[in-house]
Amino acid sequence: MNYYTFVAPCHFGLESVLSGELKRMGAENVSAIDGRVSFTGDLHLMARANLNLRTAERVLIQLGEFEAKSFTQLFDGVRALPLEEFIGRRDAFPVKGHSAKSQLHSIPDCQSIIKKAAVERLKEKYGVGWFEETGPVHQIQFMILKDQVSILLDTSGAGLHKRGYRRNSTEAPIKETLAAGILDLARVRRDTALYDPFCGSGTFLIEGALKGLNIPAGIARKFAAQSWDSIPAAVWAEERTRGLDLIRRDAKFAAYGSDIDPAAVELALENAHKAGIAQRVRIRCRDIREFRTVTDTGIVVTNPPYGERLLDQKAAREIYRLMGRAFTPRDGFSYAVISPDEEFERNFGRRASKRRKLYNGMMKCQLFTYE
């Protein structure tokens, strides 16, 4: 089977977590740059990555890289790529992308030049004058940075944060991929007792259970490249079986969630059922003032309300004070809190043992860890 270079974008700050995931699943030449990780492997690895990665946003095949300072160079560079290896004569191949710090900065112009070059290449290869584009979508993505062009093909389709278990959400849910990265940084494992006293729609609890039981994050969904003729169905079937075989139903993982809002509790329970891990989580309607643990050891991972989005900042800071009282330093327990508030530690009442910069969407946050 051929080897390819792949690129997986991720949240800023999670590159090392994603690199670790990739190495553990057999990826080679894993290399992290800002907000993405590149790696090499065969198509089995592509399917494995889509099915299992918890912190990647998508998996793209890199078709080529070249320098372009003019539209002619862009056109020639794209026309030289072996697009027909993946794109069939009836397939749809829309183009999108972005450019930064480059001479070619007009996105619509780049889009249309790349499309024209792709059409020229495929016309030559298939000997046809017109493409109906009624087949499976092969989304072409371009990234131009400092005049270096990367042409990629999106194998995932819908973003990988769409696991298939969350149809509904509360007001400010954390993205599944970011939640999974935080759980990794907080060292949630197969025997962890995980607590989230601001559980909202239950993302940390569910992602924690999927991780603890080693359930592939994408087992309940489909991927764009599953309908591509160029990839044998057996590749996906084998990787699916491999993923299912690695599930550890004997893991001791358990999660305890609570939230002051009864609607959130109901939703979190519903989502846990959809994710197939409801027997591993207990969710109660409870104010942070009544937070208590029921195990000898545990890891608390949570994103409390942010002033900007849910309550005003004063109310949010009062909650941080309550958290400081509830999350007492004691053997066997650690706490990880994500917050955009620069004043979090002062209100919580203690300096964190570690601080890590993370982005929740466009919002600059920090992960405060107390060990």
Ligand X SMILES: C[S@@+](CC[C@H](N)C(=O)[O-])C[C@H]1O[C@@H](n2cnc3c(N)ncnc32)[C@H](O)[C@@H]1O
- Which positions touch ligand X (CB under 6 A)? 170, 172-174, 197-201, 203-204, 259-261, 264, 287-288, 303-305, 319
Instruction: List strands edge to edge, sheet with 148-154.
Output: 28-33, 36-41, 4-9, 60-67, 148-154, 140-145, 95-100
**Are 146 and 102 contacting, i.e. CB atoms less than 8 angstroms apart?**
yes
**Cα 72 from Cα 171, distance rounded (Å):** 47
Among 225, 171, 204, which residue's Cα sits nearest to residue 51?
225
Residue 177 or 303 having the CB closest to ligand X: 303
Nearer to ligand X, 33 or 315 (CB): 315
Min CB(185)–ligand X separation in Å: 15
CB 264 to ligand X: min, Å: 4
Closest among 307, 335, 312 to 197, alpha carbons compared: 335
CB of 54 to ligand X, least distance (A): 15
Q: How far is the CB of 208 from ligand X (least distance, A)?
A: 11
Nearer to ligand X, 157 or 305 (CB): 305
CA–CA separation, 370 and 354 (whole Å): 7
* φ, ψ dihedrals at 145, nearest 5°: -135, 125
Burial of 82: CB neighbours in 10 Å, binned 0-12, 13-18, 19+: exposed
Residue with smallest beta-carbon separation from ligand X: 200
Would you say 125 or 162 has its CB closer to ligand X?
162
Q: Residue 87: count other Cβ atoms within 10 Å of its Cβ.
A: 27
Q: Which residue's CB is nearer to ligand X, number 141 or number 339? A: 339
> CB neighbours (10 Å) of residue 53?
26
**In the complex with ligand X, which residue's Cβ is closer, 136 or 173?**
173
